[in-house]
Amino acid sequence: MILFLILAFLSVVFSLLVVTQRNVVHSAMALAATLFIIAVLFLTLDAPMLGVLQILIYAGAIMILILFVIMLLNPMSVEARPAAWWTLGSLGAGALFLQLAGLLHRPAVFAEAAVPASFGGPESIAQSLFTDFALPFEVASVLLLVAIIGAVVLAQRQR
C-alpha cells in the first residue's frame, strides 16, 4: 500500500515532467523514469514477466530509439504554445480525468482474486499466448515485419 502510494506519486511527477519540460531530452529521460516506475507497478500486480518486458521493450528499446532520433535530428526547441493552450489542454485533461474517475463511483465488485503462485510468469503467459491467442500472435509478427520494412523505406534517402 505504502509502496503503491510512493510509486503512484513518482509516476505522476515524472509524467508531468514529460509534458512540462522544455528540453526534449529531459522529457525523454522523464518518460524513461515513468516507464521504469510503471514496470515496478506491474511487479506489485503479480506480473513479473510483463514488468521485465516493459523494461526491455519500453524503457530499453523504444526509449533508446526515441533518444537516437532526438540526437540524430537535433531539433531546435519548437516555440511553445501560448498560455491559452496550456489552460485549455489542462482543463480538457482535467475534465477527461473527472469523466474517467466518475466511472469508479459504482460499488466495487472486484475483490482480489486468489491466484496461483505461477500467475504472470512466463509459463502462464505462454500457455495462453500459444493456445487461445495463437492467431493474434502470428498477426503481431507480421505487423512487426511490416513495421521494419516500412521504417527502412520511409527513412532511406530519396533517390
Partner 1 sequence: MTQAPLEYYLVLSAVLFAIGVAGVVIRRDVIVILMSIELMLNAVNLTFIAFSRFLGSVEGQVIVFFVMTVAAAEAVVGLAIMISVFRFRQTLDPRDMQLLKW
Q: Which of residues 43-102 bind partner 1 (CB under 8 A)?
A: 44-47, 49-50, 53-54, 57-58, 61-62, 65-66, 69-70, 72-73, 75-81, 85-86, 88-90, 92-94, 96-97, 100-101
Reported residue count of the chain is 159
Residue 118 phi, psi (nearest 5): -85, 5
Q: Which residues contact 73 (CB under 8 A, 6 or more apart)?
A: none
Q: Does 10 bind partner 1 (CB under 8 A)?
A: no
CB of 18 to partner 1, least distance (A): 6
- The candidate with the shortest Cα–Cα distance to 33, out of 7, 61, 59, 51, is 59
- The set of cell numbers assigned to 95 is 475534465
CB of 15 to partner 1, least distance (A): 5
CB of 71 to partner 1, least distance (A): 11
Q: HSE, CB side, 13 Å, CA atoms: give it for residue 37.
A: 19
Asked if 62 contacts 31 with a C-beta cutoff of 8 angstroms, the reply is no
Asked if 1 contacts 21 with a C-beta cutoff of 8 angstroms, the reply is no
- The candidate with the shortest Cα–Cα distance to 35, out of 5, 68, 61, is 61
Of residues 114-133, those binding partner 1 (CB under 8 A): 114-115, 119-120, 124-125, 127-129, 132-133
CB of 8 to partner 1, least distance (A): 5
CB of 101 to partner 1, least distance (A): 6
Q: Does 29 bind partner 1 (CB under 8 A)?
A: no
Q: Does 134 bind partner 1 (CB under 8 A)?
A: no
Q: Does 18 bind partner 1 (CB under 8 A)?
A: yes
